[in-house]
Amino acid sequence: MKIKKLIIPVAGYGTRFLPVTKALPKEMLPILDKPLVQYIVEEAVASGIEDIILVTGQNKRAVEDHFDYHPELEEWLKKTKKPAQLHEIRKIAQLANFIYIRQKGPYGNGTPVLNARHMIGDEPFAVAWGDDLFSCKVPRLRQMIEVYEKYQDPVLSAVRVAAEDTRRYGIIEGLEVEKGVFQIKRLKEKPGPKATDSRLASIGSYILTPDIFDELQNTPLRDNELYLPDAIDRLLKRRSIYAKLIEGEYFDIGSKFGWLQANLSFALKDKSISGQLKRYLRKI
């Protein structure tokens, strides 16, 4: 069965970017002239996804508005003879079928996935967080979907990290079954370099099968939060799960430095401003 649906949880508070995220969802933080969440949607569409399920919360109206039509703005762009910009904003609403669900239940990254159960049914599906950005020749989700299509089992995205970063990420231990594809044996949460030899970090995107929902339903809360990795760890005891080492550049937009890195990287690839930016960087 083809993977046509993507869940993007966007209900978080974005506390690491306060005060700007008091009113602006962190998923709407700009990378150059587009919000972060639009890059994720465009990547998904390029990977064959048709339905985008955004699990939202309070103060996330800007996300919904962004993927809607804006008749007043469109009329203004017509009057001011700006056809390129008119085309650009119109096509945003046409990227995919957008579905919005309000997050309900305990805090934690497992809850938005469980909230979308009725929209998924018995299909495999994708999940991507709204603060992880990849720049790849082949879209990150496409790379993962190809692994799923071969093995018909859940797939986690992975990147290699430095030893010290094993304290920050969930770490995958497993057997490399083909280049860049690992059959997972264990998932260790932020173990630190002394507790694992692996430097393969699990980064927040997944291809999941519908049996994850029962695991989520039965996963005990941890610190009053429902964690998706805990449910995946439970599922690992019953079936094979794989990890795909993503070929491309990863940006952790959950941190200020990662957001700045992404803006600089994308700007240096933008012909309209790269020369000016390079001159400025040399100057400072």
Write down the CATH number for the domain with range 5-283.
3.90.550.10
Where is pLDDT greater, at 124 or 60?
124
Phi, psi (deg, nearest 5) at residue 189: -85, 110
pLDDT band at 46 (very low <50, low <70, confident <90, very high): very high
CA distances from 50 to 99, 125, 156 (A): 11, 11, 20
DSSP designation for 137:
S
Q: What is the pLDDT of residues 102-119, one digit of tens each?
A: 999 888 999 999 999 999
pLDDT tens column, 231-267 = 999 999 999 999 999 999 999 998 899 999 999 999 9
Q: H or E element: which one contains 185? A: strand 181-189
> Is 5 within 8 Å of 125 (Cβ atoms)?
yes
pTM of the model: 0.93
Q: By C-alpha distance, which of 208, 203, 212 is closest to 148? A: 208
Other beta carbons within 10 angstroms of residue 63's beta carbon come to 24
Crossing angle for the helix pair 256-268 and 274-283, nearest 10 degrees?
Answer: 120
Neighbours of 234 (CB within 10 A): 16
Nearest of 101, 106, 1 to residue 48 by alpha carbon: 1
